[in-house]
């Protein structure tokens, strides 16, 4: 697919870019003309992803980066700035979600702390390291990937609390950075068909029935929203949360189905 070159001459750094939403966002930005540094904790896989994009003629590089490590984050940002001559866009995608225990009181402390550290503090570290360079670019933008888990109860206590925290961080950082010309926004996906759902087609089929638009999302759906918010098409948008969830949080499909069934009875 040919895209408008909204990012010609721009540079970007995407975390959690080895696969899924992060990889799709990196691809979309590169397809629209950006030079992109893909980072991920899994350095081997992110390099494979970047190599595949380079084979398509896209301007990308890869670097291993654990967003839980401040020094690694600062090194990744420095890598992008040195390689591309600056930084215009940061996409915070890296996250961690531990399978929750049946009982809340059995949740281990380390799972709670690690989910919050990667999912919430990770974007904080990345944004802090990138902000001076985004200011210097004169067209800086931060786009963070949230989740419907931060809006409603879909389980996973720590992950959900972290994603809800990202909404607040988006608003406060937007207010702080606006005067310096940097926009900060968040995309909130519903269920997206990533590697986490491989081999779970039966579950996907059940979940799709809960979505008013009749399907779960694809990584490319989220990447399109990321590209919009990072681009000058969104030049007067900051501090906002863009929900991209097929209508899940707007329409109670289960309730509608139950009411319809009662009327037919």
Q: How far apart are CA 97 and CA 38, in angstroms?
A: 21
Q: How far apart are CA 107 and CA 20, in angstroms?
A: 27
Q: How far apart are CA 31 and CA 249, in angstroms?
A: 31
Give residue 118's pLDDT: 98
Which residues are 184's β-sheet partners?
142
Q: Domains in the chain and their CATH numbers? A: 11-264 (3.40.50.720)
CA 79 to chain CA centroid, Å, is: 21
Among 190, 189, 177, residue whose Cα is nearest residue 238: 177
| Among the ranges given (39-43, 46-50, 192-196, 218-222), the one the predictor scored with the smallest mean pLDDT | 192-196
* Percentage of the chain exceeding pLDDT 70: 98
Decide if 159 is catalytic: yes
Helices 219-230/20-31 angle, 10° precision: 50
Q: How far apart are the first and last CA of the chain?
A: 48
H runs (alpha helix) in 85-244: 109-116, 122-137, 157-177, 201-208, 219-230
Is the pLDDT at 44 greater than 90? The verdict is yes
Confidence class of residue 201 from pLDDT cuts 50, 70 and 90?
A: confident
Q: Which of 145, 159, 183, 238 is catalytic?
A: 159
Give residue 92's pLDDT: 98
Mean pLDDT, residues 155-174 taken together: 97
């Amino acid at each position: 697919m040919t895209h408008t070159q909204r990012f010609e001459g721009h540079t970007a750094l995407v975390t959690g870019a080895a696969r899924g939403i992060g990889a799709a966002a990196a691809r979309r930005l590169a397809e629209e003309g950006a030079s992109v540094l893909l980072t991920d904790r899994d350095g081997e896989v992110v390099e494979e992803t970047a190599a595949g994009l380079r084979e398509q003629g896209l301007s990308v590089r890869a670097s291993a980066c654990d967003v839980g490590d401040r020094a690694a984050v600062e090194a990744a940002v420095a890598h992008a700035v040195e390689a591309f001559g600056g930084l215009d866009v940061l996409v915070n995608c890296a996250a961690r979600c531990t399978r929750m225990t049946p009982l809340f009181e059995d949740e281990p402390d380390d799972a709670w702390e690690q989910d919050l550290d990667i999912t919430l503090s990770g974007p904080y570290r990345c944004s802090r390291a990138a902000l001076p360079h985004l200011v210097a670019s004169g067209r800086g933008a931060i786009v963070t990937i949230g989740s419907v888990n931060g809006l409603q109860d879909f389980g996973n206590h720590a992950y959900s609390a972290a994603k809800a925290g990202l909404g607040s961080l988006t608003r406060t950082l937007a207010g702080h950075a606006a005067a310096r010309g940097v926009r900060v926004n968040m995309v909130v996906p519903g269920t997206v068909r990533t590697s986490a759902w491989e081999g779970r087609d039966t579950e996907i089929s059940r979940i799709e029935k809960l979505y008013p638009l009749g399907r779960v999302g694809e990584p490319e759906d989220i990447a399109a929203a990321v590209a919009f918010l990072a681009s000058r098409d969104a030049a007067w948008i900051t501090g906002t949360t863009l929900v991209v969830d097929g209508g899940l949080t707007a329409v109670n499909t289960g309730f509608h189905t139950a009411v319809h069934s009662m009327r037919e009875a």
